[in-house]
């Protein structure tokens, strides 16, 4: 039985913390390769039992924070007729056993209507909202609307965000903090930045009680184990999964991949025993 608390980000992270695990946050672009298929993929990710938080991209035609893999996914989704109304239909139709968050760009929220967007998130069970191109200084209206509708507004901080700025941005933050691992755009990378540890420490200190999840470039179990090992509360994997979808991987293949990723969020001993 799923209780409402299960869909709350803070409770999810608390529970994982109590078990000594990090969160696996899996991203897909809604509408890729088609609205119906992305609903099925999203559901199978939830049903895998390996994904702790599902992050759904609501496509925008000009995603300046994204690399080629997600750009291509967005192009496919828009060609397949994806739009914001369908995004809320899909979110509403999902059998949500884990918290679902949206990632989008400001113009998508703005054109739908800020208040209406936040209300629709709440109505269709979307627990949190990430807006990739909305810096703190411009985000007041969206943050207020999210707060009114009980949706966590998820702040983004990056390696070049100063300590003082991090404190300002993360004051009163909720859900989790999205820490970008490295300077650049989304996409798979062979190695993670050497300087992740100090940046992560800075973010964790500024975030206070709010969990910090690391994204951008996290492509496989080694990276996931690495960021969790360095003290992150969660690891966000996007392009690696989107790339599998692009290559026509089966639901089984994707499930197997996220299961391996999930193992890497667990303490080393548990990981070793399962092996």
Partner 1 sequence: MIESRYGEYGGTYVPEMLVPALQDVAAGYEKYRNDPGFRAELDDYLKQFVGRPTPLTLSRNMSRKYGFKLYLKREDQAFTGAHKINNTIGQALLAKRMGKTRLIAETGAGQHGVATATAARALGMDCTIFMGEVDIERQKMNVFRMRLLGAEVVAVKNGTRTLKDAISEAMRSWVTCLDDTHYLFGTAYGPHPFPAMVKDFQSVIGREARAQILEQEGDLPACVVACVGGGSNAIGIFSGFLKDEAVRLVGVEAGGCGIDSGKHAARFQGGSKGVLHGSYTYVLQDKYGQISDTHSVSAGLDYAAVGPEHSMLRDIGRAEYSYATDDEALHAFRELGMVEGILPALESSHAVAWAIKNAEELKGKTVIVNLSGRGDKDVYTVAKHMGVDI
Binders in 140-169 for partner 1, by CB under 8 A = 156-158, 160-162, 165, 169
Q: How far apart are CA 94 and CA 72, in angstroms?
A: 24
**The one catalytic residue among 66, 152, 226, 243:** 66
User: CB-side exposure of 202: number of CA atoms within 13 Å?
Assistant: 21
CA 200 to chain CA centroid, Å, is: 17
- Which residue blocks in the chain are alpha helix, DSSP H? 9-18, 35-47, 68-79, 84-93, 106-112, 114-123, 140-148, 163-170, 196-207, 221-229, 239-246, 251-263, 268-274
Which residue's CB is nearer to partner 1, number 50 or number 130?
130
What are the residue ranges of helices labelled H in 94-220?
A: 106-112, 114-123, 140-148, 163-170, 196-207
DSSP letters, 126-159, are --EEEETT--GGG-HHHHHHHHHTT-EEPPEE-T
Residues 272 and 275: their CA atoms lie apart, in Å, by: 5
Q: Does residue number 136 form part of the binding site for partner 1 (CB under 8 A)?
A: yes
From the list 5-13, 76-84, 235-243, 245-253, the region that binds partner 1 by CB under 8 A is 76-84
Query: Nearer to partner 1 by C-beta: 158 or 239?
Result: 158
d(CA 2, CA 98): 9
**Is 180 among the residues that bind partner 1 (CB under 8 A)?**
yes
Least Å distance, CB 136 to partner 1, is 8
Whether the CA torsion 147, 150, 151, 153 is positive or negative: it is positive
What's the min distance (Å) between Cβ of 149 and partner 1?
20
* Residues in binding contact with partner 1, number by CB under 8 A: 41
55-74 positions binding partner 1, by CB under 8 A: 59-65, 67-68, 71-72
Task: At 77, list the tokens.
Answer: 């989704």
Chain positions 184 to 213 lying near partner 1, rule: CB under 8 A, are 184-185
How near is the Cβ of 46 to partner 1 at its closest, in Å?
A: 25
Interface characters, 81-120, with partner 1 (x: CB under 8 A): --xxx--------------------xxx-xxx--------
Instruction: Indicate if 55 belongs to the active site.
Output: yes
174 binds partner 1 (CB under 8 A): no
Tell me which residues touch partner 1 (CB under 8 A).
59-65, 67-68, 71-72, 75, 78, 83-85, 106-108, 110-112, 132-138, 156-158, 160-162, 165, 169, 180, 183-185
Residues noted as catalytic: 55, 66
């Amino acid at each position: 039985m799923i209780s409402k608390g299960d869909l709350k980000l803070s409770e999810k992270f608390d529970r994982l913390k109590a078990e000594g695990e990090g969160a696996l946050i899996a991203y897909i672009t809604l509408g890729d390769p088609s609205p119906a298929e992305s609903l099925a993929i999203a559901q199978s990710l939830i049903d895998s039992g390996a994904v702790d938080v599902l992050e759904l991209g609501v496509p925008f035609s000009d995603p300046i924070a994204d690399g080629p893999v997600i750009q291509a996914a967005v192009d496919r989704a828009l060609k397949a007729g994806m739009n914001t109304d369908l995004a809320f239909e899909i979110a509403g139709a999902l059998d949500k056993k884990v918290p679902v968050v949206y990632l989008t760009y400001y113009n998508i929220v703005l054109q739908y209507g800020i208040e209406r967007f936040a209300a629709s998130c709440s109505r269709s069970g979307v627990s949190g909202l990430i807006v990739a191109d909305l810096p703190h200084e411009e985000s007041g209206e969206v943050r207020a609307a999210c707060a009114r509708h009980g949706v966590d507004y998820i702040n983004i901080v990056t390696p070049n965000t100063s300590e003082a700025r991090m404190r300002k941005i993360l004051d009163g933050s909720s859900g989790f903090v999205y820490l970008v691992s490295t300077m650049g755009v989304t996409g798979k990378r062979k190695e993670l930045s050497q300087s992740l540890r100090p940046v992560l420490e800075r973010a964790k200190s500024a975030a206070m009680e709010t969990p910090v999840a690391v994204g951008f470039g996290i492509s496989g179990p080694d990276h996931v184990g690495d960021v969790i090992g360095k003290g992150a509360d969660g690891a966000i994997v996007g392009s690696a999964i989107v790339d599998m979808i692009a290559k026509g991987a089966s639901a089984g293949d994707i499930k197997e991949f996220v299961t391996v990723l999930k193992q890497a969020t667990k303490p080393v001993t548990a990981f070793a025993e399962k092996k």
